[in-house]
Amino acid sequence: MLRVLFTLTVIALLASIFTSCTRDTAWRVEPPADCSTGCDNSYIERHEDYELAFVEFSERGNQFDRRRTREIMQKIRDYSNEDNGVAVVVFVHGWLHNASAEDRNVKSFRQVLDKIGSSNIMGDRPLVGLYVGWRGKSLYGAGSEYLTYWGRKSVAQHVGYNGVTPLILELADIDAQKAENILLIAGHSFGGAMTLSAVDNILLTRMADGLAKGEPVAPLAEGLVLLNPAIEANQIFSLKEQSMRFKSIEAPQIELLHVISSEGDKATHVYFPLGQSVAALGWNEIDFSRYYDEDAYHFKENSLDINTVGNYERFWTNKLELRANNATDPYDQPLGEWEFHDFCAQPKPDPHDSANARLPCTEQDPVVFLTTDPSFIKDHGDVFNDKVSAYMIAIVSSTMYQQSGILTEPCSENNTFSFNKCFKFYLDNFNDLNADGDQAEQMPTPNRL
């Protein structure tokens, strides 16, 4: 017993020496500032082609200073009231990150906004980036940060439904006031878990109302995307079931939510299941069945609990992989150098495998589950690359066309919307910026979103 106590004491002492704790306070406390003269701690950064604002939450989901948020939201409302509307891009960061000036996600998000702003693809709309910050990094040093998995996952979900939900609702309200407005929301990793927690009940309520009325549902934003989300499939199971029911709606349904995960993401493919398996040791899990299209589907709660929403293959609706030898599956569509496979278009396999079969889906499904190969998203953190940015802007363009009939020349083919042409145009534009190293060059007006 004395040896055990001595060992635990030594471990605790070493932990206190070699690890450090990050503060549960706001990083962005300084007034708005022009970044040409320095703005590292400002809650609104003013850049040449855009503004970057920060909204930060405590571990309990409370905003550190509601007055700062009101100022940010009023600025967005004022821009929305202008003739051209406003473009708002929201990023919700994940585990091991925060809103500090030195955080890699802050720097990467700024680079994405630099490209979007300098390329002028948002037209004459003011561009506002909104970074949602929280204490994703609580410990660091001696590898201690990797022991915070369970605590940070729980905090992310709590901040989502307690704090981020009203923020998204307010942004959605501004966005809905004008057809020209653009709202793109992306959550990554535990930030994806946070985003899902924030919108889950909203989407479920809207979808239930739409199904009851036999009507399609309006989207919360032009783009709502979870990137390599670190949240178990069980958390989205109800949304998936509701999504499948939209085959009964006759009018075209706009996609409400996109879940995008990469096969190259070891964090969610390997480490997330390990962490969940440890947590599941104390859970009571069952097997259960559902009937869809008169076919039986059997589920294990353990499988739903240890696999992420994007890695649970039975949910997949689409797959994106690099084109091989120009061979095309009859259910594939070209997307630049890749093939976009549609699982919803291919017929059900015969015989039916009730334990492993992919769940039925149609083009009416408002929740999209897209898996990509590593050529598109290399690994867990590779979500700021130009391909992902171009894909998300193409999603925005598609929604604007379906919702308001807004069709720009780069996305038009035979007077209708072309996702492939749209994606290629934006990706080529970003590639040109990389090649030229000249982000001040603007595109002509007809090419604007």
In angstroms, the CA 318 to CA 181 distance is 28
Phi, psi (degrees; rounded to nearest 5) at 389: -60, -45
As a whole number, mean pLDDT of residues 38-53 equals 96
In angstroms, the CA 299 to CA 354 distance is 9
In angstroms, the CA 181 to CA 86 distance is 5
In angstroms, the CA 150 to CA 154 distance is 6
Judged against a pLDDT cut of 50, whether residue 441 lies above it is answered with: no
Judged against a pLDDT cut of 80, whether residue 135 lies above it is answered with: yes
264-294 tens-digit pLDDT: 999 999 999 999 999 999 999 999 999 999 9
As a whole number, mean pLDDT of residues 393-399 equals 98
Residue of 162 and 21 predicted with greater confidence:
162
Judged against a pLDDT cut of 70, whether residue 6 lies above it is answered with: no
* Two tokens, residue 55: 């909204």
The answer to whether the predicted template modeling score (pTM) of the entire model surpasses 0.85 is yes
As a whole number, mean pLDDT of residues 110-139 equals 92
Phi, psi (degrees; rounded to nearest 5) at 348: -65, 140
Judged against a pLDDT cut of 90, whether residue 446 lies above it is answered with: no
Q: Could you tell me if 231 and 161 are in contact, meaning their C-beta atoms sit under 8 angstroms apart?
A: no
Judged against a pLDDT cut of 90, whether residue 387 lies above it is answered with: yes
Q: What pLDDT does residue 399 have?
A: 98
In angstroms, the CA 201 to CA 27 distance is 30
Return the number of other C-beta atoms located less than 10 Å from residue 331's C-beta: 16
As a whole number, mean pLDDT of residues 339-354 equals 91
222-279 tens-digit pLDDT: 999 999 999 999 999 999 999 999 999 999 999 999 999 999 999 999 999 999 999 9
